[in-house]
Copies of this chain bind each other. A is one copy, B any other.
Amino acid sequence: MAQLNANKTIATLEPSLIPNLPTSSVTLFEAKKQKNLTFAEIAQRIGRGEVAVAALFYGQSKASAEDIQALSEILGVDHAKLNEQLAGWPDRGRSGPMPPKEPLVYRLYEIVQNYGLAYKAVLNEMFGDGIMSAIAFSTKIEREVDDKGAEWAIITMRGKWLPFTRF
């Protein structure tokens, strides 16, 4: 956990995104800033992955009753308020325009654009006719430092294989 040091910088909520996000996003990000917590710290304490927690903050993932309880405690937000704001089911798909304009997000889009057919061909040979689920799915980010001291980001996506039903 290299980033848990004194001069850490935490992600905050870009105000111009607010109109497209649920009310809970404002509540959660403000409390996060007050408490000066990274997603890694929050994730560790509620027992979920960092990406899942960040997605939850952006309204792209569902909070369980336990998550709400834990977030309320960690962030110091009134439980009833948080409970109400997180009661609904996420209206997913709000992570900005597609194709992404943000360079970091665009790189992920570019990977799909460049390697899409290759992924499909290899997955079909490995598993047959079907898809890798994005619902029965988890993802995580890891950090690696190579011999020369260069940093590498490693994104792992793990999805259940769903074969097409024959009918």
Contacts and interface: CB of A to CB of B under 8 A. Distances in A.
B11 A125 contact: yes
A80 interface: no
Contacts of A128: 9, 89
Interface in A89-130: 89-96, 98-130
Contact of A117 (B60, B135, B136, B138): B60
A60 B14 CA distance: 12
23 contacts: A12-B87, A15-B22, A17-B91, A40-B125, A50-B122, A51-B122, A55-B114, A89-B129, A93-B101, A98-B109, A103-B134, A105-B119, A107-B131, A107-B132, A114-B134, A115-B139, A119-B155, A126-B143, A136-B164, A150-B160, A151-B160, A152-B159, A153-B159
A64 B49 CA distance: 29
Given A93-B101, A103-B114, A161-B153, A88 B14 contact: yes
B138 A113 contact: no
| Stoichiometry, copies per complex | 10
A121 B23 CA distance: 19
A12 to B, nearest CB: 4
Interface in A43-77: 48-52, 54-55, 57-58, 60-62, 64
Given A60-B115, A105-B119, A115-B139, 5 more contacts: A102-B120, A135-B165, A137-B167, A151-B160, A156-B157
Interface of A: 2-3, 8-17, 19-23, 38-40, 48-52, 54-55, 57-58, 60-62, 64, 87-96, 98-141, 143-144, 150-167
